[in-house]
């Protein structure tokens, strides 16, 4: 792209944020950041060190300890904790079940917010970055030139997530996604909301390539229109 851009991609689990964000970043030559992986990495560290994830004070007391590093290549994003690759571990059922209570702790969100802003700022000189999460456009980077809020109906989200995992029950996955929606939407710190000015995109009727095409078009139109002012 001709100028630096931050694309904020928010939405609930299973809405297609990850695949879309990576595809858009690859297509436009941008970096890519999965903030959800950072929260999962923090959770994995807590579980490894026997921290009670349901005790906010205990989680808060340890929030500064993990060394979390996110690789931002959309073709091969990486995530390490204390120098160890945890890309597989953070997708385990144990981490998935524990990430929501960890993510609600203000100290965790503050620690990772600083890290996320540092990564975004570092990507701007090279063209920009696509950042996916739940509060990117509202909290992490409110000045993002492009803000999107991806959704899909619960059944479609569950089917996608189950297919990604390669096993499990669609109905069980749907129940878990709705549970996480309730937690993410009702937490006091940085709840899941559509940011002011965000474009709402329901991905239910589209396949991945169609969604990527739609988002690339939105980014190019938005950045192009601002550059011509």
Provide the whole-model pTM: 0.86
142: number of Cβ within 10 Å: 14
Q: At what angle do helices 154-165 and 170-186 cross, to 10 degrees?
A: 110
Q: What is the pLDDT of residue 89?
A: 97
C-alpha closest to that of 62 among 77, 81, 42? 42
C-alpha closest to that of 28 among 46, 48, 5? 5
CATH class of 5-217: alpha beta
End-to-end CA distance of the chain: 17
Give the strands of the sheet with 199-202, arranged side by side: 31-34, 128-133, 5-10, 146-151, 199-202
Q: What is the pLDDT of residue 183?
A: 65
Q: What is the pLDDT of residue 34?
A: 97
The low-confidence residues of the chain, meaning pLDDT below 70, are 1-2, 160, 164-167, 181, 183-192, 225-229
Q: What is the pLDDT of residue 188?
A: 63
Q: What is the pLDDT of residue 191?
A: 64
C-alpha closest to that of 145 among 124, 165, 125? 124
């Amino acid at each position: 792209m001709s100028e630096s851009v931050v694309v904020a991609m928010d939405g609930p689990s299973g809405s297609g944020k990850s695949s879309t964000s990576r595809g858009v970043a690859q297509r436009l030559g941008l970096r890519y950041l999965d903030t959800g992986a950072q929260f999962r990495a923090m959770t994995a560290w807590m579980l490894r060190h026997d921290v009670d994830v349901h005790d906010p004070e205990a989680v808060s007391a340890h929030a500064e300890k993990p060394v979390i590093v996110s690789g931002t290549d959309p073709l091969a994003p990486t995530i390490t904790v204390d120098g160890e690759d945890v890309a597989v571990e953070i997708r385990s059922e144990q981490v998935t079940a524990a990430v929501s209570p960890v993510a609600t702790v203000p100290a965790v969100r503050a620690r990772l917010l600083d890290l996320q802003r540092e990564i975004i700022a570092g990507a701007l000189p090279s063209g920009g970055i696509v950042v996916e999460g739940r509060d990117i456009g509202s909290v992490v980077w409110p000045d993002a030139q492009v803000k999107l809020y991806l959704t899909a109906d619960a059944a479609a989200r569950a089917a996608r997530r189950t297919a990604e995992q390669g096993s499990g029950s669609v109905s069980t996955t749907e129940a878990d996604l709705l549970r996480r929606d309730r937690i993410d939407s009702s937490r006091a710190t940085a709840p899941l909301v559509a940011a002011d000015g965000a474009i709402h995109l329901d991905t239910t009727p589209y396949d991945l390539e169609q969604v990527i095409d739609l988002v690339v078009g939105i980014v190019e139109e938005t950045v192009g229109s601002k550059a011509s002012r």
